Structure 1
Amino acid sequence: MTNSKIQVLVEVEFFKEKQMARKTFPNLENRIYQPHFVVKGTKEYLGVCFVAGNIVELGEKTTAIIEMIYDNVDYSLLFKADTEFYITEGANIVGQGKVI
Structure 2
Amino acid sequence: DAKIEYRMQDQEGKEITPVIGEILEVVPQQRLVHSFRLSDNDDKPSRAIYEIEETEHGVKLTLTHDQFDGETQTYKSVGDGWPFILSGLKTLLETGKPLAA
Confirm or deny a common fold (TM above 0.5).
no
Query: Which has a greater percent of helix?
Result: 2
Indicate the TM-score class for this superposition, using the shorter chain for normalisation.
0.3 to 0.5
Larger CA Rg, structure 1 vs 2: 2
| TM-score (normalizing by structure 1) | 0.33
**Structure (1 or 2) with the greater strand fraction:** 2
Q: TM-score, with normalisation over the residues of structure 2?
A: 0.32
Which gives a bigger RCO, structure 1 or 2 (Cα 8 Å, sep 6+)?
1
